[in-house]
Amino acid sequence: MNGIILAGGKSSRMGQDKGLMEVDGQPMVRRVIDVLSPLVNKVLIIANDPAYSRFGYPVYPDLIPGKGPAGGIYTGLTHTGTEKNICLSCDLIRINEGLLRFLIRESKDSEITVAKHGQKTEPLIGIYRKKCLSGWKKLLEQDLLKLQDMIEHFEVNKVAITPDMDFYHDHLFDNINAPEDLNKHLWK
């Protein structure tokens, strides 16, 4: 299993490349790498900024520019050498190994396995099989880019994550999209 970190976004709400922004002295993407790397054979970073190469992992720019996270997943699935792949956004600063291990166990034979908490599905915390690649490309070509809608075209396993799980905490699914999110001190 490989890990795919999506860091290619424009970060338009943040005003700068958020994956490289420091939170408590380290770039956001570093936090995701540290949780993901012990669980996978290889980490791939999907980013259009070559500065991500400083983390020591292969960096691939979007194969189809301007398609957002959907294009990043496509690029990651194209470059991975494994059937199962954990896909994560670079700004999930509170993600933990317990959640990822649970998703791996629950993924079984599903084409896509994603975390679900309450009524919210998290397609940027999921396991994507390489066999989705051709179908994913067709959806991109149709300009269907909303991940919530895209995953419904596959056999998707939405794994319920509940507060009684030992790895759960209130900020597990928080991400950083705008400067005001940093002011919330979500990482403490």
Q: Which of 55-69, 94-108, 134-148, 165-179 has the lowest mean pLDDT?
A: 165-179
Which residues, listed in sequence order, are joined to residue 112 by a DSSP beta bridge? 128, 156
Q: Is the pLDDT of residue 67 over 60?
A: yes
Judge contact between 1 and 81, C-beta under 8 A: no
Helices (H), 2-143: 28-36, 68-79, 97-107, 133-141
Angle between helices 28-36 and 97-107 (to 10 degrees): 50
Q: How far is CA 30 from CA 107, 148, 159, in A?
A: 25, 26, 26
Rounded to whole angstroms, the Cα distance separating 71 from 65 reads 7
Q: Is the pLDDT of residue 43 over 90?
A: yes
Rounded to an integer, the average pLDDT of 75-102 is 96
Angle at 111 between CA 109 and CA 113, to 5 degrees: 85
187 falls in which pLDDT band (50, 70, 90)?
A: very low
Q: Is the pLDDT of residue 14 over 50?
A: no
178 falls in which pLDDT band (50, 70, 90)?
A: low
Rounded to an integer, the average pLDDT of 144-152 is 97
